[in-house]
Amino acid sequence: MSPSRNVLKFGGTSMADAQAMLRSAQICLDHHAYLVVVSATSGTTNQLLEIASQAEQGQRDRTHGLVDQIKNKHRLIANDLRLSENGPASLETLFGELATLAEGILLMREASSRARDRLAALGERMSSLLFRQALSLTAQNQKVQLLDVRSVMRTDDNFGQARPITEKIRELCAQHLPAMNDSTIYVTQGFIGETEDGFTTTLGRGGSDYSAALLAEGIEASVLEIWTDVTGIATTDPRLCPKARSIPEITFKEAAELAVFGAKVLHPTTLAPAMRARIPVFVGSSYEPKAKGTWIRWQTQDAPLVRAMALRKNQGLITLSTPKMLNQYGFLYEIFKIFNQHQVSVDAITTSEISVAMTVDASVLINKNLARDLSELCEVKIEQDLTLISMIGNNINHTAGLALSIFGALGNINVRMICQGASIHNFCFLVQGNQGEEALRRLHKAFLEN
Ligand code: ADP
Ligand code: ASP
Ligand code: MG
């Protein structure tokens, strides 16, 4: 009997093949996992969504080609793991569902968001089945059970970006994941959920981290461990800046800012449930499980001015101006009512006497109705293809001379909008899209490579 309620989450690269799965299974044992949350095998969610697009366009051969690729990849892992193929929850049954969904979309030439979610969810349903086997092979004396996360992950019906219903999740976790009385390890799926009416949903791309955090909250876990392909949270994305180095400790508030402002290592909403439930979070590499990784805690030993930086591409800047704003109240209220109606979230914002400027993800600008509704109130200017750069640290909004050093390091890179002051942990600004990566490298060199 183990006293721990540890939740471990493994991303796509940690599920890439039988070898990666066996390595991840060993981590589950070494870290006394109680509940293991897995992503689809690497690249599979993209392929599933591509099937929906190709089938919708009537591309029969391409659709079938992708279906075969997915089947072959999973059959290969099943063979390597000596998984037998019987039973209602078998891989072949899931392949049948995949083929039926693809045929249905081909026939209708239409993929509703509900159908897309059902299709995308197959990735995690397949990988969890394989991972249960990998874990059974590794944990010879422990019972390993597959849990269909849809029995606990209750969400609304906002398909593609479903919102969890946390009270319900807690209740269902208590029913399906009993307080531990034996050493059973449960394996379940990230990313997917189910509505009250029994329709499969997904939590948005990269959502398995969020799933794991919600489940950790639901079972009052002792710890949440996110296992990925990098040795923890780094000072910036190592793919953009090879000199980025792992951060041993970071506070929840800093890590949350980092995730929301673009560090893909954590899904933006992951930390909210862990913070509510005060569960410490660890981020480590399933390729190098002995490397130190990063601990996210309420307090850390040090509080550097700049701990890390992130970048968010494809940002739009909306500038709204009207002389009516001068000495008037109610104008911002009217603006935010419109953003609310269109369910658009604003990331950074600055105001002056007669104008207000805010950044949004460029994808929301595809819908022209937002600009139309805003233009009934004021003059609207929209700029696209910008990158938001965020410097994350402590007291970053109170430090004299910081802005000067930032602009010094940026040199000839032009800054479009600065947003400083709202958070003591974040200083962010916009640059032209094609200068974002270079800006990040220059700042990393100046502030984080000494
Ligand atoms: P998983 O499939 O395990 O969820 P992701 O690809 O979603 O993995 O996230 C891991 C990736 O996040 C890394 O490979 C890295 O390129 C990227 N990344 C972005 N910012 C950071 C950062 N600050 N620290 C570490 N990794 C980062
Ligand atoms: N498989 C899903 C995706 O690729 C969720 C995840 O990996 O977190 O978006
Ligand atoms: Mg991820």
- Whether 370 is in a domain gets the answer yes
Predicted local distance difference test score (pLDDT) of residue 422 = 77
Three-state secondary-structure class, residue 408? helix
- Whether 11 is in a domain gets the answer yes
The reply to whether ligand 1 has any atom less than 6 angstroms from the CB of 218 is no
**What is the spatial distance between Cα 430 and Cα 125, in angstroms, rounded to a whole number?**
40
Could you tell me the pTM of the whole model?
A: 0.94
Atom of ligand 2 nearest to the CA of 208: 8
Q: Which ligand has an atom closest to residue 231 CA?
A: 1
Question: Which residue reads 């930086």 in tokens?
Answer: 309
316 and 213, same domain (yes or no): no
Query: 35, 176 in Cβ contact below 8 A?
Result: no
Predicted local distance difference test score (pLDDT) of residue 1 = 40
Give me the percent of the chain exceeding a pLDDT of 90.
82
- Whether 428 is in a domain gets the answer yes
* Domain edge (last residue) among 180, 206, 229: 229
- Whether 333 is in a domain gets the answer yes
429 and 316, same domain (yes or no): yes
197 and 93, same domain (yes or no): yes
* Domain edge (last residue) among 208, 229, 250: 229
Atom of ligand 1 nearest to the CA of 14: 3
- Whether 397 is in a domain gets the answer yes
217 and 124, same domain (yes or no): yes
- Whether 402 is in a domain gets the answer yes
Atom of ligand 1 nearest to the CA of 228: 3
Of 228, 296, 391, 437, which is best to mutate to test ligand 1, by the most ligand atoms within 8 angstroms of its C-beta? 228
The reply to whether ligand 2 has any atom less than 6 angstroms from the CB of 208 is yes
- Whether 269 is in a domain gets the answer no
In the chain, the amino acid numbered 54 is: Q
Q: Which ligand has an atom closest to residue 240 CA?
A: 1
Rounded average pLDDT over 69-86: 91
Question: Which residue reads 């509703």 in tokens?
Answer: 112
Q: Domain range for residue 83? A: 6-229
Q: Which residues pair with 318 in a beta bridge?
A: 358, 382
| pLDDT band at 441; cut points 50, 70, 90 | very high
CA 285 to ligand 1 centroid distance, Å: 10
* Domain edge (last residue) among 229, 256, 281: 229
Atom of ligand 1 nearest to the CA of 234: 24
Per-residue model confidence as pLDDT tens digits over 8-54: 999 999 999 999 999 999 999 999 999 999 999 999 999 999 999 99
The reply to whether ligand 1 has any atom less than 6 angstroms from the CB of 237 is yes
193 and 326, same domain (yes or no): no
194 and 325, same domain (yes or no): no
324 and 208, same domain (yes or no): no
- Whether 113 is in a domain gets the answer yes
Predicted local distance difference test score (pLDDT) of residue 180 = 62
Which CATH number goes with the domain that contains 436? 3.30.2130.10
Answer whether residue 181 shows pLDDT above 90.
no
Per-residue model confidence as pLDDT tens digits over 396-431: 887 788 888 999 999 999 998 888 767 899 999 999
216 and 83, same domain (yes or no): yes
CA 227 to ligand 3 centroid distance, Å: 10
Which CATH number goes with the domain that contains 196? 3.40.1160.10
52 and 186, same domain (yes or no): yes
Element (H, E) at 436: helix 436-448
Specify the number of domains making up the chain: 2
Q: Which residues pair with 10 in a beta bridge?
A: 38, 227
